[in-house]
Amino acid sequence: MPHYENIPYPFKRPLELDGKSQQLYPVAIVGAGPIGLSMAIDLALHGIRSVVLDDNNVVSVGSRAICWAKRTLEIFDRLGVADRMLEKGVTWKVGRLFHGEEEVYNFDLLPDDNHKMPAFINLQQYYVEQYLVERTQDFPDLIDLRWLSKVTDEELEDEKVTVSVSTPEGNYTLDAEYVVACDGAKSSVRERLGLPFKGHTFEERFLIADVEMEQSPFPDDETHERWFWFEPPFHNGQSALLHKQPDNIYRIDLQLGPEAYPEEEAKPENVIRRIKQVVGDRKFDLDWVSVYSFTCAKLDRFIHDRIIFVGDSAHVVSPFGARGGNGGIQDVDNLGWKLAAVLKGAAEPALLESYHEERSHGSAENILHSSRATNFMTPKSKMEAIFRQEVLNMAEHLPFARKLVNSGRLSAPCSLADMALQTPATSPTSIPPGTVCPDAAVTQNGKRGWLLNHLGGEFILLTTGEAAKEYDPEGLKKLHVSASETDETDELVDVTGTIIAEFGENKIYLVRPDQHIAACFDLSEVECLPTALRRANAGSMMEAAE
């Protein structure tokens, strides 16, 4: 029996059912999974109201997405749920890769500890959704979360979208300026619009089994590592993955082959037989089982007039590398500030086009990594099998071969360099425009904190070095980082020296609301800032449209 008790959320009769509301919602969000809930919270932090519509009334059944990457945790921190996730989740950064019984090599995903967030945590999706639901309650005037409210149609008009909703107590319509479709891989919104979902379906089948065990299968369970096997002795000729979740739950992922029958493989007696081969005579209980195959696919366009696709409704990948849920949260991070700026009249709708440009690029990169991992894990020809075998044989002793081993390139944010909103740097910098601003330990008024907690939500000018300290442009928030203790209450102190070393001395960085670098200048180039700021708000895109 699953250990997590899924408590239903109540249906609340909306005013529209009684004809008492004719309001125009700024945003209607379809789907109350982690992506839809995060979208609502992000918009609320910008002061934008939304109504969230979901056909269910519980959080996800089964652990589903469990691996949350460093960048995603930084976004969740901005949204206000990361501390709870860290407290509950299993933190890890070391992965070990085996070929048969032998360890080929291991890796450390976060060799620098000068960051608030770890490389990864494992935390079941139902906990993440629960924390997000509870966080929405902090915005009673900005988030209207409606359970058992199935969206059945969307009618586009010039200045709005009319959304049809079915509930246990009747049907109604509501109007919204924009609809954000966060309704998953089988998106009904996408299907009703007849949008092609282009990609490739892989025939290989895999078994996910979450098992509860008091006795750990790891030699030292305090290390919380990720173990991956090619051709393990307990699962001949296939691959296997093992790592830990909270509540003494262990995720075991086994490759089954394309000929496997899902119904047969999901039977408890067959699952138990396979799990015993992995964990030996340890006692365990099955918590959740799924047999799956997967598709790598994406929409050609993420924006269709006033309907915007986010997360799995826009793109799907294999589970290898933890790029699905993490990619969706990065969609939210990219879209939230842009949609808020448009709705407030602070930017033209052309700014939204950059969401498609940047996140279509990010999802294409995820699909590429995902497809390459699948091809390495499941060779389709004799030559591919020989290549994999030789790479694995060399990897134990030759570091160059380790770069060719692919058990899933783990999620990392993509670069947005050379895209419309970024101004290319004219002088060398180790943090080029388009990259996420790296975190670092800081103090302010003697109180220790983290750089990223001072960034995000608005455009901020980040300056380093004493000469740049005096530069203070009008109409833009400035954050100065000093190399030594200061009496200035609004300055940050680089306590470890890593910010000055990495960012450079006397540099000026324009940081976007999503913590990406939009531009970087030397102090002698400050006259370029207004143009860069305009470009970061899609000024160049508006000119092109004109």
pLDDT value at residue 2: 63
Average pLDDT over residues 264-277: 93
CA–CA separation, 24 vs 421, rounded Å?
30
* CB-CB neighbours of 258 under 10 Å: 10
pLDDT value at residue 478: 92
Average pLDDT over residues 219-235: 83
Share of the chain above pLDDT 70, in %: 96
CA–CA separation, 88 vs 86, rounded Å?
6
pLDDT band at 546 (very low <50, low <70, confident <90, very high): very low
pLDDT in tens, 398-408: 888 888 887 76
| 392 vs 546 pLDDT, higher one | 392
pLDDT of 535 higher than 90: yes
pLDDT in tens, 82-135: 999 999 999 988 888 898 888 888 888 876 778 899 989 999 999 999 999 999
Contacts of 455 (CB under 8 A, 6+ apart): 437, 462, 479, 511, 515
CA–CA separation, 457 vs 462, rounded Å?
14
Token pair recorded at residue 18: 């009684």
pLDDT in tens, 494-504: 988 889 889 98
pLDDT band at 386 (very low <50, low <70, confident <90, very high): confident
Lowest-pLDDT range of 100-104, 220-224, 482-486, 514-518 = 220-224
Q: By three-state DSSP, how is residue 248 classified?
A: coil
pLDDT of 329 higher than 90: yes
Share of the chain above pLDDT 90, in %: 60
Contacts of 487 (CB under 8 A, 6+ apart): none
pLDDT in tens, 32-72: 999 999 999 999 999 999 999 999 999 998 878 899 999 99
pLDDT value at residue 487: 66
CATH number of 441-545: 3.40.30.120
Residue written as token pair 């409704």: 313
Distances (CA, A) of 509 to 285, 457, 461: 52, 16, 6
pLDDT value at residue 41: 98
Q: By three-state DSSP, how is residue 238 classified?
A: coil
Measuring CA to CA, which residue among 375, 379, 363 is closest to residue 408?
375
Contacts of 17 (CB under 8 A, 6+ apart): 167, 169, 170, 172
Mind giving me the DSSP string for 385-430? HHHHHHHHHHHTT-HHHHTT--S-PPP-PPP-TTSTTPPPPSS--S
Q: Reading across the β-sheet that carries 90-92, which strands appear in turn?
A: 67-69, 120-122, 90-92
CA–CA separation, 405 vs 421, rounded Å?
35
Token pair recorded at residue 494: 């680089």
CA–CA separation, 315 vs 328, rounded Å?
9
Average pLDDT over residues 521-546: 77
List the beta bridge partners of residue 174: 163
Token pair recorded at residue 426: 């004219």
pLDDT band at 199 (very low <50, low <70, confident <90, very high): confident
CA–CA separation, 476 vs 533, rounded Å?
10
> What per-residue string of b and e applies to 118-152 under the rule 16 or more CB within 10 Å gives b?
bbbbbbbbbbbbbbbbebbeebeebbbbbbbbbbe
List the beta bridge partners of residue 106: 96
pLDDT value at residue 198: 86
CA–CA separation, 188 vs 431, rounded Å?
40
Distances (CA, A) of 454 to 80, 426, 444: 14, 26, 10
Token pair recorded at residue 465: 């070095």
pLDDT of 321 higher than 70: no
CA–CA separation, 422 vs 154, rounded Å?
34
pLDDT of 337 higher than 70: yes
E-assigned strand segments in 149-225: 150-156, 161-167, 170-181, 197-212
pLDDT band at 543 (very low <50, low <70, confident <90, very high): very low
pLDDT of 525 higher than 50: yes
Average pLDDT over residues 348-355: 95
Cα Dmax for the chain: 72
pLDDT in tens, 200-216: 887 788 899 999 998 88
Q: How close are the terminal C-alpha atoms of the chain, in Å?
A: 60
Q: What values do phi and psi take at 325, rounded to 5?
A: -60, -40
Domain ranges, ordered by start, for the chain: 15-90+117-197+298-371, 441-545
pLDDT in tens, 159-191: 999 999 999 999 999 999 999 999 999 999 999
Highest mean pLDDT, choosing among 276-290, 401-415, 473-487:
276-290
pLDDT value at residue 526: 84
pLDDT value at residue 345: 94
pLDDT value at residue 324: 82
pLDDT of 542 higher than 60: no
pLDDT value at residue 445: 85
8 A C-beta contact, residue 329 and residue 359: no
Average pLDDT over residues 275-295: 90
pLDDT band at 488 (very low <50, low <70, confident <90, very high): low
CATH number of 15-90+117-197+298-371: 3.50.50.60
> What is the Cα gyration radius of the chain?
24
